[in-house]
Structure 1
Amino acid sequence: MNELGIICDIKEGKAKVAIGDMVTDFLSVFQSLANSYAVSFSPLRIGEQVLVIPVRGDLNSGVILRGLYQEKHRAKNTDENTFNIDFEDGTHLEYNSKSSTLKLDVVKDINITCVDKTTHNQNNTLNTKNHTTNANTITLNAPSINLNGNTQIAGAISTSGEGGASGTFSIKGNLNLIGNLQVSGNISDSKGDLTNHTHSCTCGATASPR
C-alpha cells in the first residue's frame, strides 16, 4: 500500500521517510529526467511531504514520489497559463504561454557560458538598473551605433575607415582638452588653414606659425 510520509534524513540523493512511528531505509527518489537525453536533480529537503510506493509490498524497497504541496510550501501562482518556480533564496522563474513572456528575478548573479555564437534575429531591448560587461574582447558589428548619454572612456581611442582606411571623428559641440594635442596633418577653422597661414607681427613683418 502506498504511504504518505515526511522526509527525515537525506544522503547522496536518497532519503529516509517517517511514516507514523516507522522510518524507512534510504530510498531512491523520482526526478524529472534520468536518461541519455538529460539528467536533472532537484535537491531534497527534510520536512518535505512525499509518497512512498512499495516494491513487491515492501516499503523499505520502495521509491519516493515527491512534489506534494504542503501548507507552508504551496505555489504562489496557479494561473493556468503560467509555469513558475520559486526558490528558497527568493529567486523566481516564470513563463506565461499566453503572453509568451519569460520572467526571471535573480537575487544575485546570472552566469551564462556559450561555446558557439548566439544569434537573435528579432528586435529586442535590454533594461537594467546597472550593467557591467567583463570580457577579453568586445566586438560590435552594425551599420550604425548610437550611444545616448554621457560617455566616459578610460583608454586610447583609434579610428579607421572601411577596410582599414582613414576614419573620421566628428563632434557636434565643444571640445575640452586636458593635455597635449598632436596632429600629423593640417589644422583649419572657419577662417582657413591654421597650419600654413601667415600673420602680421608687431613690427609690420609677416611670419609663419612655429
Structure 2
Amino acid sequence: MEQLIEQFFNLEIMIAAWPMILKGLGMTLLICVAVIPMGLVGGLLAALGSASKSRWIRWPVIALVDFFRAIPPLVLLIFVYAGLPFAGVQLSPFTAVVIAFFLNNSAYYGEIFRAGIQSVGYGQSEAARSTGLSAPQTLAYVVLPQAVRNVLPDLLSNTIEVIKLTSLASVVSLGEMLHAADMARSITYNASPIVLAALVYLVLLWPLVRGVSRFGRSLNTG
C-alpha cells in the first residue's frame, strides 16, 4: 500500500508539479476558448447547409459532416499536423489542434443544430412569414431560439466532450494539461502528476456533467 501511495499519490511530487500542471491548464482553456465558439458557428452553418433546398449545397455539406463525424479525431489531428507538411502546409501545434478540433466538432454541433431546427414545426415558420418576416428574420427570431432551447442539453454535453478532447493535443506536443503532466512524470519517474491532472479534470468537469444532467431533467419536467 505504501508503494502504491508513493507511486501515485505522492503529495511532494504533486506540489512540485503543480506549476507545470497549472500552465498546461491555461493552454487547455485557451484551446477551448478557440475551438468551442468556432465549432458552434461552423455547426450552425453546417446545419443550415444540410437543410438547404439546393442539392448542390445540401449533399456536399451532408457528406462532409458524415466524413468528419466518422473519422477519429486523433487521426484527423495527426493528418493535419503531420500530413499537411507534405503538401507544403506547415502548421504550429496550436493551429493544427484548433483546425482539427474545429472540423470534428463542427460536424457534431451541426447534427445537433439540425435536429433542433427539424424539431420546430413548419407551421411556426409559416406563421412568422405570414406576419411579414423575411426568411432570414424567421430563422433568426423564430426558428433558431426554439431549436437551440430544444437541443441545449445536447449542445452543453458536446461542449464537455470538447473539453475532454483537448487531452489529445499532447500527441503533437502542445503544452496542454496532459502533456504537462506527462512531462512532469518523465522528470520525476512517478505517476503522481498524471493523477493530479486527472483530479483537475474531475474537479472541472464533474460539476458541469451534473449541471447538464439536472438541466436536462428540468427541461423534461417543464
Shorter-chain TM-score: what band?
Answer: under 0.3
Name the structure where strand makes up a greater proportion of residues: 1
Relative contact order: is structure 1 or structure 2 higher (C-alpha 8 Å, sep ≥ 6)?
2
Name the structure where helix makes up a greater proportion of residues: 2
